[in-house]
Amino acid sequence: MEPIIKVEDLTHIYPTGQVVAVKDISLEINPGEIVGVIGQNGSGKTTLVKHFIGLLKPTSGKVIVNGKDTAPLRVQQIAANVGYVYQNPNHQLFARTVREELAFGPRNLDLPEDEVNARVEQAVEFFHLEELLELHPYRISFPLRKLVGMASVYTMRPAVFILDEPTTGQDNITTQTVYRLIKKLRDEGSTVLCVAHDMILLAEVVDRMLVLRDGDLIMDATPREVFSDYEIMSSTHLTPPQITTLSLRLNGKFGAFDAAVLSIDEMVSEVQKFSNK
């Protein structure tokens, strides 16, 4: 399979300073993968993903998206394939009503008006935006505004979907909506990159994690491997989900399981396996 994103020896230095934001990173992402990108603020996560939509260009190295080198392309030329949902929806939303916001992307893709309307309707239903449609995006609460930001990218159906901290400030209900969105995107064959500190999202929703520290890609592995790596976790100040930590503690004491568990369901089946031994 041809990777949908290919990064070769990417280094990015911001013009304002000597700080190397990302250092010599190489990786490949295949179509349909759900990838979490983690690390502290300043570790290079956002710098890395902004290259995938052409918001940043490599200082050296190459970024190839959908078979095309991004260096000569403008953001608008990439945007049909790659959707970027900002952490702060205020950086993204500009229309006068939520309805216009949702219609803007597909209309910009020159889709026929009934297709535009159909996509708006689907997004409204999925994100439960029925009562917000005629409101100005700035009149609705910040967490709901974030959902509108996601919905307005979803209406464009990009092949690659980048979400920057989609669950911060969300409560459990809207967080579950974000998880459902990512699973739906997976089912529809999209590739998803999710910059996130939400450990449950990383444990239960993503397939693969990229761990960055000080601009270096220090680990590229499954969530199970990352969460089991005590050194990586503590050096990046990340705390695995409570259930994962429980499994690691019990494993340390009793050698109970084969590996760290990622969810309550997994923990239950591990206990069942153990008691049948």
Partner 1 sequence: MSESKPIIEFKDVTFWYGQNETEPALKNINLTIHEGDYVALLGLNGAGKTTLQLCINGVVPNNILGNFEGQVIVDGKDTLETPVREMAKIVGMVFDNPEFQLSQMSVGEEIALGMESLGYSYEEMVETIDEVLDIVGLPGLTERSPFGLSGGQQQRLSIASALAMRPKILVMDEPTSNVDPIGKEEIFQVAYELNRERNMTVIMAEHEVEVMAQYATLVVVMHEGEIVLQGTPEEVFSNVDLLKSLGLRMPQVAAFGNELEKLGIMNLNGQYPVKLSQAVETYGRLFEKKAG
Examine residue 18 and tell whether it contacts partner 1 (CB under 8 A).
no
Report DSSP state, residue 69: E
User: Per-residue DSSP letters for 149-189?
Assistant: HHHHHHTT--SEEEEESTTTT--HHHHHHHHHHHHHHHHTT
Q: Using CB under 8 A, which of 3, 31, 32, 169 touches partner 1?
A: 169
Among 133, 168, 214, 222, binds partner 1 (CB under 8 A): 168
The DSSP H or E segment spanning 115 is helix 113-127
* Position 254 contacts partner 1 (CB under 8 A): yes
Pick one of 16, 18, 76, 275: the residue that binds partner 1 (CB under 8 A).
275
Cα-atom radius of gyration of the chain, to the nearest Å? Answer: 20
Distance of CA 261 to the CA centre of its chain: 22
Segment 233-252, which members bind partner 1 (CB under 8 A)? 236-239, 241-243, 245-246, 249-250
CB atoms within 10 A of CB 102: 29
Q: Is the CB of 175 or the CB of 228 nearer to partner 1?
A: 175
Q: Tell me: does residue 274 bind partner 1 (CB under 8 A).
A: yes
- Residue 42 within binding range of partner 1, rule CB under 8 A: yes
In the DSSP assignment, the letter for residue 52 is G
Q: Which one, 33 or 165, has the nearer CB to partner 1?
A: 165
Measured CA to CA, the distance from residue 25 to residue 224 in angstroms comes to: 22
Q: Which residues contact partner 1 by CB under 8 A? A: 40-42, 141, 143, 168-175, 197, 236-239, 241-243, 245-246, 249-250, 253-254, 256, 264, 267-268, 271-272, 274-275, 277
